[in-house]
Structure 1
Amino acid sequence: MMGECVDGAVVEAGKCSEHGKKLVYFCKGEKLRVCSKCAIVGSHQGHSVVPVEEALGELKDLLSARSKDLESKSLEQSLRLEEIDRNVTTAKVLNTTSDGSDCCETMNDPIIRFKGERFHSPLQYRVWKKMFQVIQTVAEPFTFDPLTAHPYLEVSTNQRSVTPRCEALPVAYADDRFDTSLCVLGNEPLSTGKRYWEVSVRNSAKWDLGVAYSSIPRHGDLMYKPSRGIWCLTLREGCIYQACDELDIELHIQHKPSRIGIYVDYEGGVVLFLNAETMQMIHVFRASFTEQLLPLYSPCIVEKSSNEQRLTIFKLIL
């Protein structure tokens, strides 16, 4: 049996390199196997020490419990995702009456009033937070593309936040950069599948959030309309919410959200916005996408406290 040298003598594997005794105990604090001398008078004196057999038994029980919990959470997540699909299907026909007419829009009323409905987001916080305790993971962030950011927008070093500035940044002119609209695009292209991410809007009084075709013009003013390849939600004056359809849609929201969830089903033709804190649906666009989509963001013009206008984005994995 191979061993190591301690004070000129060869110590067998499985024995303490300091005392040459068998490693029959386990130090819980430092997660090390130790010998009896280490535990009684050595460097692990006073530590929480148990026999190795007992530690192994506890570990097996813990692993068994974790395995069962993971299986349960995996099943719960699968059921949740099935529920998402059902809710999105419902959302597609939410505003349609039994005779096929639109129940919200009239010929004499250019403003469409949308009543929010309860929607279970792709990763409900209560589910995700429970799973966090088991799998020890964190939300994967989406990022801003600084090469598309208007010169008056400052993208953070980690590309997860964007803040409007009072003065233009010394950035190079580029065809991909917005020069008039105070916008920035995300780095993550959407051309298949389903995506869900959230945007922290804090207490900002104005912002624009949505998705757009990657081919939208970067020079001159943007028109937020689906016919122009943009599906967008806006906030103005701290309380005026609008969905930018071919006719602006006035949205009545009782509780001002500080975090907006955005769910995109590319094949299903759905762009859905919700209050990520209460899981209350704000608005749903229905479309037939023909090009690659990119997330679109704008914290709008600089106010007195520009820090309140900072947008931060997160992606929750489906």
Structure 2
Amino acid sequence: MAVLVTAGRLCHLAGRTVTSLSARSRRAVSLPATRCYIFTSTRTNLQFRLDEQTAHSSLDLFKKDTGVIYRMLGLDPTHVQDNPERFRDWAVVFADEKISSGRHYWEVTVKKSQEFRLGVAEALMSRDDCVGTNSSSWVFGYAQRKWFAMTGNKVVPVMLVGKPDRVGILLDYEAGFLGLVDIEKPRIIHTIGAQFKAPLCPAFGLWDGELLTHSDLEEPEGLKQEEL
């Protein structure tokens, strides 16, 4: 059964808060009811780095472009190389690999961040949008000490106790789902269903602290078909 929530403030413009829906248009929304997925796609180890050409001016990459840190002031956008691939308004960065088939797994270490988003987005997604606010991106986010799943500006709470230091992301392109993984169990905590039709990139939004990505990983044993 779909969970109803109110889509309100969930994105930040660098240096200030932005409300994603006006008070007049704010209403209860829901994601499609969760389904039982049959995992049949080819499994390959995805290896990527973060793509500096897409990084918003408030984000700095480090550790050979596998990590990203948020700078409160960041760089003056006029001092950043003009690039149509770069996010202009939102603190978002894409990975440098495109996914158009298969089943892929990666992990993210969270360091001192209380607001971030992890997931995938179409490679050609508008650089004027934030991940999760349109139908071209699918993310799991953490804000105000709560987890949520988000796509098309529709939000569903994710029942996860606490904030783990490291989580996994599982994408099955053909089966049509993105999963948030508890790597300690391991188990899939929540899934977002979708019909992927275009190449995807791992996508990250960050409004404080740091994220460190870990790719070229084997999918953990024990992740089985679940109904979430």
Fold shared by both chains (TM-score > 0.5)? yes
Q: What is the distance in 2 between the residues matched to 1:154 and 1:109? A: 36
CA contact (8 A) 2:106 2:213 kept: yes
The equivalent residue for 1:6 is: none
Alignment of 1:54-73 (within 5 A): none
The equivalent residue for 1:145 is: 51
SS at match of 1:248: strand
CA contact (8 A) 2:93 2:203 kept: yes
The equivalent residue for 1:222 is: 130
Taking structure 1 as the reference length, the TM-score comes to: 0.52
1:191/1:159 CA distance change after superposition, 3 Å: same
Give 2:169's aligned amino acid: I
CA contact (8 A) 1:257 1:277 kept: no
SS at match of 1:201: strand
SS at match of 1:180: coil
Shift of 1:279: 2.1
Q: What is the distance in 1 between the residues matched to 2:131 and 2:119? A: 13
Q: What is the distance in 2 between the residues matched to 1:140 and 1:285? A: 20
The equivalent residue for 1:182 is: 91
Alignment of 1:262 with 2:169, yes or no, is yes
1:173/1:192 CA distance change after superposition, 3 Å: same
Q: Deviations over 1:156-197 (max 9, x none)?
A: 150010001133334201100001010000011111111100
Uncovered stretches (5+) of structure 1, i.e. residues with no partner = 1-102, 116-138, 303-308
Alignment of 1:194-273 (within 5 A): 194-219=103-128, 221-222=129-130, 224-225=132-133, 228-237=135-144, 239-246=145-152, 247-273=154-180
1:148/1:110 CA distance change after superposition, 3 Å: closer
Give 2:69's aligned amino acid: T
Q: Return the structure number with greater relative CO, CA threshold 8 A, min gap 6.
A: 2
- Between Structure 1 and Structure 2, which shows a larger proportion of strand residues? 2
Q: Considering only CA atoms, is the larger Rg found in Structure 1 or Structure 2? A: 1
Q: What is the distance in 2 between the residues matched to 1:223 and 1:165? A: 19
Shift of 1:256: 2.1
Q: Deviations over 1:200-238 (max 9, x none)?
A: 11342111111000111113x42614x52100111112x
1:257/1:228 CA distance change after superposition, 3 Å: same
The equivalent residue for 2:100 is: 191
Taking structure 2 as the reference length, the TM-score comes to: 0.71
Shift of 1:296: 0.6
